[in-house]
Amino acid sequence: MNRIALPDGTTVPALGQGTWKMGERGADRAAEARSLRLGLDLGLTLIDTAEMYADGGAEEVVAEAIAGRRQDAFLVSKAYPQNASAARLPRACEASLKRLNTDVLDLYLLHWRGSVPLGETVEAMEQLVAAGKILRWGVSNLDVEDLEELGPGLSACATDQVLYNLEARGVEFDLLPYAARLKMPVMAYSPVGQGGALLRHPALSRIASRQGATPAQIALAWTLRGDGVISIPKASSEAHLRENAEVWKIVLTPEDLAELDTAFAPPKRKHALAML
């Protein structure tokens, strides 16, 4: 599996595991935790979660999944924007650490921008690093202009997690090149889209047939076609998880990529940052 270097030199797998909507139903939690554990076995060791997901329930599922295996996982969680102040971020972090049953987060992100000045959030993040509560910090759903407002703190920003898939390619116009110049990877959430419409597109079906793969695998492989992108699809079943882990066997051809560009045109101008 390809690995991606963070700005501090730490490498993580380019394919991780998302947890959005996990923990919402108590009856599903055991199966969701088993899926995450299988992902660890298959090398998908980066697990992304957030205090927002199921009001902390997803973090509790992750805690069950990594019980006895904390050293195998690279844990990412995210803070609400209203909790991104100097006063509230330490408390939000402690609450996430408690739900995750761990002493430290590998990466802590601002979930999206709110009313708290970004400079204050940077200082609060750095205080958490100094206190040993997190190893590094980053952001989510920030565009180029927002990143520039981080000022000197931008050099310590480990990633920007954004919506990126074949239907949402706006970040290719300026955000991806900007991040590449900083040698800061971008983390792609919802890489196979939402609701299944993307996966029913005829172009994906044709390429999947040629490749002996599924449309979801083609969509995921597309996000991983270059350097600098970490993709975090959610998989709450063993079959789906194994399907994701097989993506590394797929090499999209120039013909495949051209067909996808025809079906899902790359941006020719600046677009407002898409978010879910």
The CA distance from 234 to 239, in Å, is 12
Contact status, residue 229 vs residue 14, Cβ threshold 8 Å: yes
User: What are the start-end ranges of the H helices in the chain?
Assistant: 29-41, 57-66, 89-100, 118-130, 144-148, 175-182, 202-211, 215-223, 238-245, 254-263
The CA distance from 59 to 165, in Å, is 25
- Relative to beta strand 3-5, strand 11-13 is antiparallel
The single-letter DSSP state of residue 67 is T
Compute φ and ψ for 182, nearest 5 degrees.
-85, -10
Contact status, residue 30 vs residue 22, Cβ threshold 8 Å: no
Which residue in the list 53, 108, 164, 189 is annotated as catalytic? 53
Q: Which amino acid is at 259?
A: E
Compute φ and ψ for 189, nearest 5 degrees.
-100, 160
The CA distance from 31 to 217, in Å, is 22
Active site residue 53: yes
Within 8 A by CB and 6+ apart from 105, the residues are 75, 76, 77, 93, 96, 97, 133, 134, 135
**Terminus-to-terminus CA distance in the chain, angstroms?**
28
The CA distance from 261 to 195, in Å, is 21
Catalytic machinery residues? 53
